[in-house]
Amino acid sequence: MKPRITVVGSVNMDLVFRTPRMPAIGETLHGHEFRQIPGGKGANQAVAAARQGAAVSFIAAVGDDGFGEFSRNCLTTEGIDLSFLSTCKGLATGVAGIMVEDCGNNSIVLAAGANAALSIAHIDAASAAISSAQYLICQLETPIPTVSRAIEIAHTHGVKVILNPAPAFALTDALLQQVDYLIVNETEASQLSEITVLDQNSAALASQVLLKRGVGVVLLTMGEHGTLITQTTGTQFIPAIKVEVVDTTAAGDTFVGAFAVGLANGLSLLEASIEAQYTAALTVTKLGAQTSIPQRQQVLEFMAQRKSTAAE
């Protein structure tokens, strides 16, 4: 049987500009190209999990506009269960304005639109989709009370919770104590722990603070450097997979989705993290969010190729 993953989160239309560098305040800068690509952290993570072989249910909201219809159609082609994807009348679908530098770095501005209308009532209506899953994935591009309710339902029914607290907001210890796996980058870890993460040592200190706040396991992703895994039994550092970076958009989301599927398939924490690293590494070699997320077979071939090269 396929792993059962439920995702609660956002749907955005990404308006992507390729640019040689970020413009200064008041500057008009000629870009290389423009693309319109389906995204949103929740949708990206749902697509990543589906492409890695999971049966995915997605709880989200879109507006009654062209972007919403387009996003729904894209998610349908991925085989994702959209029984609880609501269309909010009179609201726009979420939009993200993304500037991607030639070096691969990006800056993002969000307009939440219908994402902000995803309510506790929506979650309660979809409680069966949460309680029957192996893993629940959440982020913070939808209202925190809504996310908290989803996590509460999952925790009550023994469903493992993966939280990617992005963008970072203040979270209560009561909420974090219901989180089995917290996946954060340096910025999010710094804000949640109040320890500035600059290197592996400060990352370890920040992770320990988050453990003390009640999280089961902390995975601190550090981009091109790798991922630090911290649990009560100790820490492990996984170096990043080196690739030529085109665009880092959705790399973190791909890691989250692939990690959840790895765990649901019975991999160990370390094995699931390594597979997630490989999957995210493939993502940054292409432009865009969902357009860059690899299929399972591509990941397996990439892992085999890298292992073969290392053995030579």
Residue 207 has, within 13 A of its CA and on its CB side, a CA count of 31
Residue 249 assigned to a binding site: yes
Three-class DSSP category at 31: coil
Residue 43 assigned to a binding site: yes
| 50 CB-near residues (< 8 Å, 6+ apart) | 56, 78, 79, 80, 257
Residue 65 assigned to a binding site: no
Residue 286 assigned to a binding site: yes
Residue 73 assigned to a binding site: no
| 19 CB-near residues (< 8 Å, 6+ apart) | 29, 31, 32, 99, 100, 101, 102
Residue 22 assigned to a binding site: no
- 253 among known catalytic residues: yes
Residue 41 assigned to a binding site: yes
Residue 33 assigned to a binding site: no
| 300 CB-near residues (< 8 Å, 6+ apart) | none
Which two structure tokens, joined as six digits, stand for 110? 């969000």
Residue 122 assigned to a binding site: no
Residue 39 assigned to a binding site: no
Residue 119 assigned to a binding site: no
Which two structure tokens, joined as six digits, stand for 121? 């009532």
Residue 146 assigned to a binding site: no
Residue 44 assigned to a binding site: yes
The residue annotated as part of the active site, out of 173, 180, 199, 253, is: 253
| Nearest by Cα to 190 from 230, 161, 222, 233 | 222
Edge-first strand listing for the sheet containing 226-231: 81-88, 55-63, 4-8, 135-139, 160-164, 181-185, 217-221, 226-231, 234-239
Burial readout 203-223 (b: 16 or more C-beta within 10 A, e: otherwise): bbebbbebbebebbbbbbbbb
Residue 214 assigned to a binding site: no
Residue 42 assigned to a binding site: yes
Indicate left, alpha or beta for 46 from its phi (over 0: left) and psi (-120 to 50: alpha): alpha
- Residue pair 252/221 in contact by the 8 Å Cβ criterion: yes
Three-class DSSP category at 86: strand
Residue 180 assigned to a binding site: no
Residue 221 assigned to a binding site: yes
- Please count the other Cβ atoms lying within 10 Å of the Cβ belonging to residue 6: 31
Q: What is the 3-state secondary structure (H, E, C) of 270-292?
A: HHHHHHHHHHHHHHCCCCCCHHH
Binding residues: 12-14, 40-44, 141, 185, 221-226, 247, 249, 252-253, 283, 286, 288, 292
Show binding-site residues for substrate: 12-14, 40-44, 141, 253
Residues known to be catalytic = 253
Q: Which residues are annotated as a binding site for ATP?
A: 185, 221-226, 252-253
Binding positions for K(+): 247, 249, 283, 286, 288, 292
